[in-house]
């Protein structure tokens, strides 16, 4: 069973919501090194940054973003089937 992808899914990295979600993922990868940073960054600050970025993803998803369909016909990301 193949999932239904958004048109121009290969250009999804341009979407603000995808960029914010990637930032959240990167911050959570850094959480593995949390003991090293704990003396510099209070846990509450880390919690607030994650919370604010999580809300930002939701807001970015409902705000109109530039169309990814402004591609040329020769663009390999133009087709959603791969």
| Contact between residue 77 and residue 17 where contact means Cβ atoms under 8 Å apart | no
| pLDDT tens, position by position, 29-54 | 887 877 787 788 888 888 899 899 99
Per-residue pLDDT band for 6 (boundaries 50, 70, 90) equals confident
- Give the number of other Cβ atoms within 10 Å of residue 5's Cβ: 13
The angle that helices 43-62 and 16-30 make with each other, rounded to 10 degrees, is 160
State the first-to-last Cα distance of the chain, in angstroms, to the nearest integer.
14
Per-residue pLDDT band for 78 (boundaries 50, 70, 90) equals very low
User: pTM for the complete prediction?
Assistant: 0.67
């Amino acid at each position: 069973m193949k999932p239904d992808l958004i048109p121009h899914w290969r250009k999804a990295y341009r979407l603000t919501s995808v960029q914010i979600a990637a930032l959240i993922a990167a911050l959570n990868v850094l959480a593995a090194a949390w003991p090293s940073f704990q003396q510099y960054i209070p846990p509450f600050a880390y919690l607030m940054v994650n919370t604010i970025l999580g809300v930002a993803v939701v807001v970015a998803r409902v705000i109109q973003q530039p169309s990814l369909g402004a591609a040329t016909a020769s663009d390999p990301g133009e087709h959603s089937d791969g």
